[in-house]
Amino acid sequence: MATTDLKLDKPGSLPKPGPAGRVVRLLFGTLCLWYVSELLATAGSLIASNGHILPLVWNGILPGLLLISYVINIGFSRSWGKMPGVVSAAVLAVAALASHLSLGTVEMNLFARVAWIWELYLFAHLSLSFILAAVIGTPGCEMRALHDLYTRITGNPTKEHYCPIGPLHPIDQWEARRSG
């Protein structure tokens, strides 16, 4: 099982992604960007005519809770373990409870807005990171793309992190073996 612990490696220790790794990063970035655009399109009304929160908002909660600790820990060089996920779940739970206590249902604007804002940040951060990592060829995890860009601009090396979940690390390793 993947760990959310921050394990930074020295600069240059991970292989740069090859064409396949860059294409997969670009695809993931495009998918996240699509989700962000769909979220923005719903900004005016998060509650459907049937009185329920739009499925789009509900569908992002579980994946978001699974990803948020990686985004925060790796993206901001923090070693907070599962705390970002726990705090996110707690904030969503408080919003759900407040919604339920005020009108007897979770499915109202308060909870929908909190979930929407949280998802908008998370998936915008992911889309930017994936696309930037694809364009500049960031080694390892896409969440280090802004750090890699900083290194390229300033010449100050930053540490790398392999991708703890998903297919990117195996793809990068495979491409590195193939290119010798």
Q: How many domains are there within the chain?
A: 1
In 10-40, which positions are buried (b, 16+ CB within 10 angstroms) versus exposed (e)? eeeebbbbbeebbebbeebbeebbebbeebe
First to last CA, the chain: 29
Does residue 61 sit within a domain? Answer: yes
Q: 47 has which bridge partners?
A: 53
Closest C-alpha among 84, 167, 173 to residue 125: 84
How confident is the model over 20-71, as pLDDT tens digits?
999 999 999 999 999 999 999 999 889 888 888 999 999 999 999 999 999 9
180 pLDDT more than 70: no
Residue 10: pLDDT above 60?
yes
What are the tens digits of pLDDT across the range 75-122?
Answer: 999 999 999 999 999 999 999 999 999 888 888 889 999 999 999 999
Domain with 173 in it? 21-179
For residue 13, tell me if it sits in a domain: no
Q: Where are the alpha helices (DSSP H) in the chain?
A: 19-41, 55-75, 83-103, 109-136, 145-154, 168-179
In a domain, 3, yes or no: no
Q: Give the SS3 label for residue 53.
A: strand
What average pLDDT does range 11-28 have in this prediction? 94
Kindly indicate the confidence band of residue 2, based on its pLDDT and cuts at 50, 70 and 90: low
Does 5 map to a domain? no
pLDDT at 105: 85
Residue 27 domain-assigned (yes or no)? yes
